[in-house]
């Protein structure tokens, strides 16, 4: 949060001080000129500028929120580029104007006093309005880059409060600040920040399909730089530099920084400093015009007008939700009441008019692609189904419990836009991957039986040193079969059960399997005391191999394992909770990753056709995690989890968490739906 707050703090301080200086000089000049009656005109202009900036921020926030994900990327990228242009122009204007800021504003105020009240209002409005719009725009783009608003808003608020305090101090002649040096220093920092915003904006435009080169990466440091670490987060929050950047981002960032910073520095060197001398400007208070309206009318108007305009912009900028259609769901009336909706996000009230609980799907009848679904709609009940509709053909498919699927008549939706659909998976689609994976597990179990027998022979023969090596080999084999945990049933507890919850803990008679043998091997137990547990482990492994071909394996469970294996890794292996003395939790994590990779291999054809961009991302995540695990391996030994430094542990946790996040769509993409 605080790393995201720093750029906004600087913006709030910088823009607030600029606007505040102008306002404080306006007020000071009026007070010195004995024209206090004109102060409400200044505050009216300030109030109008604040209302305009807040209304602009509301339009940015709420109109962008109604766009599709791709459109939001393009919208945000465009505004980022505009924000960079605003900030760049402002930095150069302040570089030229800072030395004579006080005298120039005093001269403008003197002229305004002579031209009437309206000009004074406009002078203060323009002075604050430009900074307000720049601040709103830059805050919005900063919040978009940060992915949250609390940090940027907090930083901006602190900066504005500090700016107000400094301006009050200047007004009271308490503080003296060299404006030329201040604006030169902050201008240079803002150029660096603006370069990052430009790079971020270009990436958004690539994600939104406006600019090419989305996958043309200049570098990818995700394998060596932990994106979740404090230093990486700080660099990303302040400079918008990420571990992975495209060539366009790098060119935009470097080109902007080189050109703009060079021009800025040259301008600072070329400008000869001029000694500034404060002078008092006196002006006679112009005769007060007769008031033809109440004093509150103008302040209320200047707040109401931009608010109303912003409200209209938000209302017109949002797609109008159509009245929700009520659609019947049953074997006889599936889709009754359905008419072609308009493109966009739609809500359908699905009412079960039959006598059976049903599942209902909004589908493309040609491809069976699913746009929305409701499971378990009870008879006589109504539930809302929300789906995004684009140009195409749509129909309802009702699947009553115990009955056949019924498809409604199709309707054609015309118009622009596209809707995201999931091509359903049937049990037959998963039959091939399941057979491949069962063959992999069968081969692994055959290897496991031989390895556990060798382990038992080592222990019985008193070769405990060799037994430790053979134990790790066998345990890694078992851990690589993680996707089959759901079918191992009671064998899993016997073979790899933990001592947690057992009355006697590690000394309980029911504590068996790999972890029991591990505890004995690394806690000095004799070969005699370990022979029984080691031989029982070999017996249980053989029993599992014999039982596995006859165990039921729900095809729908296969996609779930892609996520669950590494969930267990993050919960148990990377915390060291399952370490009984060997310090090989990372070896187990490595085997879990191998099992996940094998599972994704058999699911790859189904995933590629449903989400082409998912697997390249997942493959990159796996490579990053694999590199971190390889770094902890030293020949036949592994660094224990508890001996890892804090940074390395954070990287491992972050890489595993990122992989889990990117794998999370797999169960939904490959869910077996009755609509198929």
**What pTM does this model have?**
0.53
Comparing 31-35, 258-262, 467-471, 572-576, the range with the smallest average pLDDT is 31-35
Question: What is the C-alpha separation between 141 and 238, in angstroms, rounded?
Answer: 13
3-class SS string, 282-294: CCCCCCCCCCCCC
Which DSSP string corresponds to 257-305?
HHHHHHHHHHHHHHSPP----------PPPPPPPP-S-TTHHHHHHHHH
pLDDT above 80: residue 492: yes
Q: What is the pLDDT of residues 416-452, one digit of tens each?
A: 666 677 778 888 889 999 999 999 999 999 999 999 9
Q: Considering Cα of 557, then 562, then 568, then 571, what sign does the dihedral take? A: negative
Q: Name the fold adopted by 325-413.
A: Immunoglobulin-like (2.60.40)
Contacts of 370 (CB under 8 A, 6+ apart): 361, 362, 363, 421, 422, 423, 424, 673, 675
Structural contact between residues 105 and 19, judged by C-beta atoms closer than 8 angstroms: no
For residue 40, what pLDDT is reported? 80
Report the percentage of the chain scoring pLDDT > 70.
Answer: 68
Q: What is the pLDDT of residues 493-524, one digit of tens each?
A: 899 998 988 899 999 999 999 999 999 999 99
Buried b (16+ CB within 10 A) or exposed e, 294-325: eeeebeeebbeebeeebeebbeeeeeeeeeee
Q: Which CATH class is domain 427-669?
A: mainly alpha
pLDDT above 70: residue 197: yes
More confident residue, 8 or 382: 382
Q: In the structure, how many helices (H) and strands (E) does the chain have?
A: 21, 12
Q: What is the Cα Rg of the chain in Å?
A: 34
Residue 482 three-state SS: helix
For residue 62, what pLDDT is reported? 62
For residue 637, what pLDDT is reported? 92
Question: What is the C-alpha separation between 261 and 238, in angstroms, rounded?
Answer: 17
What ranges do the domains of the chain cover?
2-283+295-317, 325-413, 427-669
325-413 and 427-669 in the same fold: no
Q: How many CB atoms lie within 10 A of CB 203?
A: 26
């Amino acid at each position: 949060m605080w790393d995201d707050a720093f750029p906004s703090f600087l913006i709030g301080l910088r823009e607030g001080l600029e606007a505040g200086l102008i306002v404080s000089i306006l007020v000071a000049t009026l007070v010195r000129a004995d024209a206090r009656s004109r102060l409400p005109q200044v505050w009216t202009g300030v109030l109008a500028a604040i209302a305009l900036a807040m209304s602009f921020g509301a339009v940015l926030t709420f109109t962008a929120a109604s766009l599709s994900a791709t459109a939001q990327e393009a919208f945000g990228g465009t505004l980022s580029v505009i924000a960079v242009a605003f900030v760049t122009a402002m930095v150069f204007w302040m570089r030229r104007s800072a030395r004579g800021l006080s005298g120039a504003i005093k001269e403008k105020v003197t002229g305004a006093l002579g031209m009437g009240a309206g000009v004074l209002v406009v002078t203060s409005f323009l002075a604050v309005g430009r900074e307000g719009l720049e601040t709103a725009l830059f805050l919005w783009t900063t919040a978009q880059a940060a992915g949250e608003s609390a940090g940027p808003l907090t930083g901006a608020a602190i900066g504005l409060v500090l700016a107000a305090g400094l301006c009050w101090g200047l007004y009271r002649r308490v503080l003296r600040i060299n404006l030329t040096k201040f604006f030169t220093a902050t201008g240079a920092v803002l150029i660096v920040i603006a370069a990052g915003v430009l790079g971020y904006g270009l990436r958004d435009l690539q994600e939104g399909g406006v600019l090419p080169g989305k996958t043309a990466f200049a570098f990818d440091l995700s394998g060596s730089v932990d994106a979740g670490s404090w230093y990486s987060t700080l660099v990303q929050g302040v400079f918008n530099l990420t571990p992975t950047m495209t060539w366009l981002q790098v060119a935009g960032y470097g080109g902007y920084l080189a050109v703009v910073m060079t021009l800025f520095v040259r301008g600072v060197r070329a400008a000869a400093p001029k000694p500034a001398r404060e002078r008092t400007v006196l002006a006679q208070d112009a005769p007060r015009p007769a008031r033809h309206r109440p004093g509150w009318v103008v302040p209320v108007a200047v707040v109401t007008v931009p608010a109303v305009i912003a409200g209209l912009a938000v209302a017109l900028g949002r797609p109008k939700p159509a009245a929700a259609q009520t659609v019947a769901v049953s074997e006889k009336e599936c889709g009754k009441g359905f008419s072609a909706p308009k493109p966009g996000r739609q809500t359908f009230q699905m009412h079960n008019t039959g006598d059976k609980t049903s599942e209902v799907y909004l589908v493309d009848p040609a491809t069976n692609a699913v746009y929305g679904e409701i499971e378990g709609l009870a008879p006589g009940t109504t539930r809302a189904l929300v789906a995004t509709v684009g140009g195409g053909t749509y129909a309802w498919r009702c699947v009553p419990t115990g009955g056949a699927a019924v498809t409604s008549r199709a309707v054609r939706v015309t118009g622009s836009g596209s809707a995201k659909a999931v091509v359903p998976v049937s049990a037959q689609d998963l039959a091939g991957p399941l057979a491949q994976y069962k063959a992999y597990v069968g081969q692994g179990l055959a290897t496991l039986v031989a390895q556990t027998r060798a382990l038992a022979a080592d222990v019985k023969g008193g070769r405990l040193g060799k037994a430790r090596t053979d134990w790790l080999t066998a345990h890694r084999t078992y851990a690589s079969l993680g996707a089959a945990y759901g079918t191992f049933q009671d064998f899993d507890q016997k073979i790899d059960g933990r001592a947690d919850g057992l009355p006697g803990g590690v000394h309980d008679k029911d504590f068996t399997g790999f972890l029991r043998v591990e505890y004995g091997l690394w806690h000095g137990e004799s070969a005699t005391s370990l022979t029984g547990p080691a031989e029982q482990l070999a017996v249980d492994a053989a029993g599992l191999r014999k039982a596995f071909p006859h165990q039921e394996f729900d095809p729908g469970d296969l996609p779930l394992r892609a996520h669950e294996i590494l969930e267990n890794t993050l919960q148990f292996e990377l915390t060291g909770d399952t370490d009984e003395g060997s310090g090989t939790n990372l070896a187990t994590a490595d085997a879990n990753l191998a099992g996940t990779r094998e599972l994704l291999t058999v699911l790859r054809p189904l995933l590629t056709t449903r989400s082409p961009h998912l697997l390249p991302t997942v493959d990159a995540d796996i490579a990053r995690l694999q590199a971190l695990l390889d770094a902890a391996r030293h020949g036949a030994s592994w660094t224990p989890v508890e001996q890892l430094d804090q940074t390395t542990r954070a990287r491992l946790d972050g890489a595993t968490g990122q992989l889990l996040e990117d794998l999370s769509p797999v169960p939904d993409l490959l869910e077996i739906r009755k609509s198929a």
